[in-house]
Amino acid sequence: MLRITILFLIVSISASAQDSVIIRNIYNYALTKSSAYNRLDHLCNEIGPRLSGSKNAEKAVQYTQQELIKAGADSVWLQPCKVEYWERGMQETGWYYEKDKKMPLRVCALGASIATPFEGLEAEVIEIYDFKDLEKIGKEKIRGKIVFINHPMDPTHINTFTAYGECGGYRYNGAKEAGAFGAVGVIVRSLSLSISDLPHTGVMAYGDNGIKIPACAVSTRDAEKLSAAIKSNGVLKVGFQQTCRNNGEVTSYNVIAEIRGREYPDEIIIAGGHLDSWDLATGAHDDGTGVVQSMEMISIFKNLGLTPRRTIRCVLFMNEEAGGRGALAYAAAADSLHENHIAAIESDRGGFTPRGFTFDGDTAEIEYAKEFKSMLTRYSLHEWDKGYAGTDINKLKKQGTLLIGYSPDSQRYFDVHHNAADTFDKVNKRELELGAASITSLVWLLSEHGVTSSPLKN
Amino acid sequence: MLRITILFLIVSISASAQDSVIIRNIYNYALTKSSAYNRLDHLCNEIGPRLSGSKNAEKAVQYTQQELIKAGADSVWLQPCKVEYWERGMQETGWYYEKDKKMPLRVCALGASIATPFEGLEAEVIEIYDFKDLEKIGKEKIRGKIVFINHPMDPTHINTFTAYGECGGYRYNGAKEAGAFGAVGVIVRSLSLSISDLPHTGVMAYGDNGIKIPACAVSTRDAEKLSAAIKSNGVLKVGFQQTCRNNGEVTSYNVIAEIRGREYPDEIIIAGGHLDSWDLATGAHDDGTGVVQSMEMISIFKNLGLTPRRTIRCVLFMNEEAGGRGALAYAAAADSLHENHIAAIESDRGGFTPRGFTFDGDTAEIEYAKEFKSMLTRYSLHEWDKGYAGTDINKLKKQGTLLIGYSPDSQRYFDVHHNAADTFDKVNKRELELGAASITSLVWLLSEHGVTSSPLKN
């Protein structure tokens, strides 16, 4: 009995020491030889914005597929999915009248919105703070008006995603809710914590009642200006013009690269981000960084000669921004092929300096994963919290997969999210590389030690 | 005995609960009502670069003094110190010859360096990696040459200050070491982890042997280019021209603001940064952010109506970059007045997102301070490590003061440090404010609970 205990102890320590060395090598590689920054440069500056269904999204599929083949993955394949190809059209304009003077509003159409009439839509404005205000004001007063939803994100949350979570519904459901009260259009305050001139786009959806009204976002600075004008002058007329349209369904693809597991090839661990982006910038932080970090995991495994015990995959999802069809296609294939995904990591919170991971799944598995934490705190990964992991991997939840969200620092994210500032120059090379190393290290530990029983003794 | 234990427990919990509420209020204030960002804007964009001894440094003294009076400190005073007023002069030029073709080198004079002859200094170059190379090459070969010290910072350190610490000596002592071997000038690779066109200045010093040779820094990109040219073409001529000069001693000031302690006024806790900056940009991260965060501590205490149990001070040091005379003056005054500084926090590592603190002092006091950690991890302050705290407060070490360095994220710091990129737009408002709240919260806890015995029961 004593001998067995000692033996276990030795196995445990040696596994842990070996892991330590491998993780140090992963970070050294990422910080000195990574391709992540150059690949991001290509994705942003050679290809550009990657709206679902667009030519650029197709180019991104081809580019990442070729890069993953060059990186030496055992297999690389495309997984088809149908996506709606919505386009913005001409640059939008917005305006309001302050004592007969026409003042500009910086606006942008929300994704999936219909266009206004070509000459624009103009009506009296009603400002609301939340959807309860619609009830209070009532259909009679709202009918024929443009509803302006002015709900600032709460700056007192330390993690900015909490504030985003509280407000996302105003953008997504604003047109549906205001339309049901007879509004003819909706203008939503941009989801940002900074006062800025740039409007933030993002997806919205209509309800099943057939009512569709044009929806746009206004910059936070102009939201403040419009609100002040309403308060000082009473009812005002506002207007906006947008020519966006839906071109219908197009076939697009997820890009998948795999390294087969040396011992348990049927147990799969994925790391992924999404290939598509919004069109106002080049999708650097959302989600170019998640894409190149997931690709880098394959490059690092191959370049360091690491053969994972379990199968690992880089999954580049299509259409996260505008329907999540890629995620649905991936989960459907996993189901029909009876694939066993034991863990999935998503990187879709920007490419900022690493903070940790969020875990969503079985309590025992979350506790088990926490045992890895001590190996990664020296790399500034301190936050190992229970929490939502990510939209694309969330579709695997019904399989019982342990879902893990990579969590970089959140403070700057909503300065660039979905707006014209989300460009390559906002990404810091080291922060990007540290993120790639963080994800790769956790994939290594999961691939060696699985997701159940004591990890460092497995 | 049992009753005493229970009583202690209740006192402990209630102190901790009250502290929690106060800390939450500190963060809420900082994230919604802080003056830090506007003050930084003024310091950088209205005043500008703040070289020790310059008119701008004087303006910064007056501005911060007035702001601290307006903030409502019990007393605000100036503490004189003599500083050397070194000036850069004309923009520097640098060059090398590649097969008779004159190629530009982006250089800047190091602080305290002498000028070159007005027409510039030109000589054969010898590239070295470290000072041991000087010994290896020998005086005979070095005499009359310009020594090029090309020692890149090590990118594999997770905390970039570790890499800086390893290389700082090449900048500070390069001229002294190379001069002793007969070199006529020294060009030092800029201390930065990124490959960039901007040269990084910083202070250097000569030895006591009377040898003074001109010293400059070259941008990392041009260091790579020059090194490649030397390797491919053998010995090359290089040159640089700089017109910097020392204008002699000028009287300048530390700015100090105090709120008297309600119970132990003789126990002093300070938070500080440095008012002076380099001249290539506007000293936003180095150290405008440390200055406005320390000032914000006073504003937050006054606006929230917090009266500290111990005396707290905001200390804005002069001359950190070019001799540390302000720190010496502060420590000398503390000695002669027999002031008891129980703790000192320095913010001089940029205004990036908070990570934690480093502690330098008595082991028992460090352990004691760690008990505060659990109250601040929810605000992303995870790193409570033993380590160097800061140059300005270091002079208090002989008093036995617990020295604390505020540690924001270090990844982006050496992209802007001492170069033309250290401007206001590189500072994120929320990151700056979170830093102010972090420092203020720790000052609150230290002021309530002191630095010895169990903090939450004191």
Average pLDDT, integer, range B343-362:
97
Q: Is A383 on the interface with B (CB under 8 A)?
A: yes
Distance from CA of A367 to the nearest CA of B (A): 19
Question: First and final CA of chain B: distance in angstroms?
Answer: 19
pLDDT at position A8 over 70? no
Domains of chain A by residue range:
21-86+248-457, 89-243
Cross-chain residue pair A434–B428, CB shorter than 8 Å: no
- Catalytic position from the list B92, B258, B320, B448: B320
| Cβ atoms B322, B112 nearer than 8 A | yes
Concerning whether B320 is annotated as a catalytic residue, the answer is yes
pLDDT, tens digit, 9 for 90 and up, residues A13-25: 456 889 999 999 9
Name the nearest CA neighbour of A252 among A65, A44, A43: A65
pLDDT, tens digit, 9 for 90 and up, residues B90-128: 999 999 998 889 999 999 999 999 999 999 999 999 999
Q: Is B412 on the interface with A (CB under 8 A)?
A: yes
pLDDT band at B356 (very low <50, low <70, confident <90, very high): very high
pLDDT at position B13 over 90? no
H or E element in which residue A344 lies:
strand A340-346
Cross-chain residue pair B379–A193, CB shorter than 8 Å: no
DSSP state of B164: H
| Cβ atoms A314, A74 nearer than 8 A | no
* Residues from chain B contacting residue A382 (CB–CB below 8 Å): 377, 382-383
* Residues from chain A contacting residue B411 (CB–CB below 8 Å): 353, 428, 430-431, 434
- Top CATH class, B24-84+248-457: alpha beta
Average pLDDT, integer, range A145-157:
98
Mean pLDDT across chain A: 95
Q: Is A195 on the interface with B (CB under 8 A)?
A: no
Q: Is B162 on the interface with A (CB under 8 A)?
A: no
Distance from CA of A272 to the nearest CA of B (A): 24
Question: Between A156, A158, A380, which is nearest B158 by CB?
Answer: A380
Q: Is B355 on the interface with A (CB under 8 A)?
A: yes
Predicted pLDDT of residue A454: 58
Enumerate the active-site residues of A: 320
pLDDT, tens digit, 9 for 90 and up, residues A101-132: 999 999 999 999 999 999 999 999 999 999 99
Question: Between B27, B32, B409, which is nearest A409 by CB?
Answer: B409
Instruction: Print burial letters for B362-380: b (CB count within 10 Å at least 16), e (below 16).
Output: eeebbebbebbeebbeebb
Number of alpha helices (DSSP H) and beta strands (DSSP E) in chain A? 13, 16
pLDDT, tens digit, 9 for 90 and up, residues A358-369: 999 999 999 999
In chain A, which residue's Cα lies nearest the Cα of B428? A412
Average pLDDT, integer, range A48-75:
98
pLDDT, tens digit, 9 for 90 and up, residues B89-98: 999 999 999 8
pLDDT, tens digit, 9 for 90 and up, residues A179-191: 999 999 999 999 9
Q: Is B156 on the interface with A (CB under 8 A)?
A: yes
Here the tokens at position B35 are 């003056």
Cross-chain residue pair B156–A31, CB shorter than 8 Å: yes
Secondary structure (3-state) at A125 = strand
Predicted pLDDT of residue B456: 61
Cross-chain residue pair B155–A31, CB shorter than 8 Å: yes
What is the Cα–Cα distance from A43 to A32, expressed in whole angstroms? 21
Cross-chain residue pair B409–A383, CB shorter than 8 Å: no
DSSP A349-396: S-S--EEEEEEES-HHHHHHHHTTHHHHGGGT--EEEE----TTGGGG
Cross-chain residue pair A428–B412, CB shorter than 8 Å: yes
Here the tokens at position B107 are 């250089």
Cross-chain residue pair A32–B156, CB shorter than 8 Å: yes
Query: Complex ipTM, two decimals?
Result: 0.95
Distance from CA of A396 to the nearest CA of B (A): 30
pLDDT band at B235 (very low <50, low <70, confident <90, very high): confident
* Phi (first) and psi of residue A218, to 5 degrees: -115, 145
Question: Which option is the CATH number for A21-86+248-457: 1.10.10.10, 3.10.450.50, 3.40.630.10, 1.20.1290.10?
Answer: 3.40.630.10
Q: What angle do CA B293, B294, B298 make, to 5 degrees?
A: 110
DSSP state of B203: B
Predicted pLDDT of residue B113: 98
The residues facing B405 across adjacent strands are B346, B358
Weakest mean pLDDT among A78-82, A223-227, B97-101? B97-101
| Cβ atoms B280, B422 nearer than 8 A | yes
Q: Which residue in this structure is represented by tokens 């019982």?
A: A400
pLDDT band at B454 (very low <50, low <70, confident <90, very high): low
What is the Cα–Cα distance from B216 to B108, expressed in whole angstroms? 5
The number of angstroms, rounded, from the C-alpha of A32 to the middle of its chain's C-alpha atoms is 27
pLDDT at position B4 over 80? no
Q: Which residue in this structure is represented by tokens 């057939």?
A: A210
What is the Cα–Cα distance from B124 to B225, expressed in whole angstroms? 16
Percent of chain B with pLDDT over 90: 93
Average pLDDT, integer, range B291-315:
98
**CATH architecture for the domain at A89-243:** 3-Layer(bba) Sandwich (3.50)
What is the Cα–Cα distance from B448 to B458, expressed in whole angstroms? 8
Q: What angle do CA B409, A298, A22 make, to 5 degrees?
A: 65
Distance from CA of A25 to the nearest CA of B (A): 10
Average pLDDT, integer, range A432-452:
97
Task: State chain A's maximal CA–CA distance in angstroms.
Answer: 90
Q: Is-same-fold flag (B24-84+248-457; B92-245)?
A: no
Q: Is B195 on the interface with A (CB under 8 A)?
A: no
Average pLDDT, integer, range B392-412:
97
Check whether the bond before B19 is cis (ω within 30° of 0).
no
What is the Cα–Cα distance from A199 to A113, expressed in whole angstroms? 15
Distance from CA of A346 to the nearest CA of B (A): 21
A–B interface: beta-carbon pairs under 8 A: 65
DSSP state of B355: E
Distance from CA of B381 to the nearest CA of A (A): 9
* Residues from chain B contacting residue A155 (CB–CB below 8 Å): 31-32, 430
Q: Is A155 on the interface with B (CB under 8 A)?
A: yes
* Residues from chain B contacting residue A379 (CB–CB below 8 Å): 158
What is the Cα–Cα distance from B153 to B150, expressed in whole angstroms? 10
Here the tokens at position B105 are 């080198």
Question: Between B31, B382, B429, which is nearest A156 by CB?
Answer: B31
* Residues from chain B contacting residue A378 (CB–CB below 8 Å): 158
Question: Between A32, A155, A353, which is nearest B32 by CB?
Answer: A155
pLDDT at position A31 over 90? yes
Predicted pLDDT of residue B14: 56
Name the nearest CA neighbour of B193 among B153, B226, B227, B135: B153
Weakest mean pLDDT among A190-194, A226-230, B10-14? B10-14
pLDDT band at B17 (very low <50, low <70, confident <90, very high): confident
* Residues from chain B contacting residue A29 (CB–CB below 8 Å): none
Q: Is A232 on the interface with B (CB under 8 A)?
A: no
Average pLDDT, integer, range A244-252:
97
Distance from CA of B163 to the nearest CA of A (A): 13
* Residues from chain B contacting residue A409 (CB–CB below 8 Å): 353, 380, 409
Check whether the bond before B287 is cis (ω within 30° of 0).
yes
What is chain B's length? 458
pLDDT at position A323 over 90? yes
- CATH code for residues B92-245: 3.50.30.30
Distance from CA of B155 to the nearest CA of A (A): 6
Listed in sequence order, the DSSP H helices in A94-190 are: 132-137, 139-142, 160-180
| Cβ atoms B123, B144 nearer than 8 A | yes
Predicted pLDDT of residue A1: 38
The helix-helix angle for A429-449 and A2-33 (nearest 10°) equals: 150
**SS3 readout for B237-280:** EEEEECCCEEEEEEEEEEEEEEECCCCEEEEEEEEEEECCCCCC
In chain B, which residue's Cα lies nearest the Cα of A24? B156
What is the Cα–Cα distance from A181 to A171, expressed in whole angstroms? 16
Chain A, residues 417-446, CB within 8 A of chain B, namely 428-431, 434
In chain A, which residue's Cα lies nearest the Cα of B25? A156
Predicted pLDDT of residue A10: 46
Check whether the bond before A287 is cis (ω within 30° of 0).
yes
The helix-helix angle for B2-33 and B289-303 (nearest 10°) equals: 120
Predicted pLDDT of residue B443: 98
